[in-house]
Amino acid sequence: MDLYCVMGNPVEHSRSPWIHARFADLTGQALDYGRRLVPLDGFADAVAAFRADPAGQARGCNVTVPFKFEAAALSQHLSPRARLARAVNTLRFADDGVHGDNTDGAGLVADITQHAGVPLAGGELLLLGAGGAAAGVLGPLLEARPRRVVVANRTLAKAIALVRSHAALALQHGIALEAHALDAVPGQFDVVVNGTASSLAGGQVPVGAQVLKPGALAVDMMYGPAAAGFMAWARDNGAVPRDGLGMLVEQAAESFAIWRGLRPPSAQVLAELRAIVDRQ
């Protein structure tokens, strides 16, 4: 049996095993996908142990917080988007070593443009955060050709560093790319994406409602109870709230395609998962 898993800390909340099981059922693929809780100081050891698992042949894994930067360092081969992000959420094990990719941004763009039906081209976008989550999505967001992108972070230096690493891509597409502190974001935006750890930690929304254009789309990269506060804030301030469930399914579909060489029916799986979540 081909083995896959999601590694993180925490990881017990992850919907990834259910998603990949449905992908496998719907595409006729034989695989086993589980969760692995990884000690905060033990990511490399956890990957090695998984690859040595006698239960089957480990083919790859997804990586969630807080190990995406470590996963990039562990990879012998990085895709262009993973190299730009310097963060990896998808590992593929091959004869020539560990291949690292980042499917988060592709998943987010697909969810915004396809499922939410909001175009990114020509719009103004605010990305909150400058950690691994934000780094993973900034490149694909720029590839979607918005007119202006602002990265805002509590520590301004981190936002500046993330913007600098993506400056060439922004210039290539003629996009105004800026870095600001969270309490000094200029202007209003068509789309606001929360990539900070505030939702995961149960904290307050890290930016004021003045950043929202009327009817703006406000997306939290988290889902479930963790996203409830951000979504309520968006709704209360005239924005359209959206959680990260669609991004989760779409980034998983991208990972599945990398591993198995075929595209699963992500829209069907998202609808099924949304129905399950809404009943809970």
Asked if 148 and 170 touch (Cβ cutoff 8 Å), the reply is no
Measured at the alpha carbon of residue 63, what is the angle toward residues 60 and 68, in degrees to the nearest 5? 125
**Residue whose structure tokens are 């990039």:** 72
Phi-psi region of 50 (alpha: psi -120 to 50; beta: other; left: phi over 0): alpha
Residues in the chain: 280
Binding residues: 14-16, 64, 89, 104, 129-133, 153-158, 221, 223, 244, 251
Give dist(CA 64, CA 133) in Å, integer: 9
Bind-site residues for NADP(+): 129-133, 153-158, 221, 244
List the catalytic residue out of 22, 68, 92, 166. Answer: 68
Residue list, annotated binding site for shikimate: 14-16, 64, 89, 104, 223, 251
213 in catalytic set: no
Distances (CA, A) of 152 to 68, 128, 203: 20, 5, 17
* CA–CA distance, 85 with 92 (Å, rounded to integer): 17
Supply the residues annotated as catalytic: 68
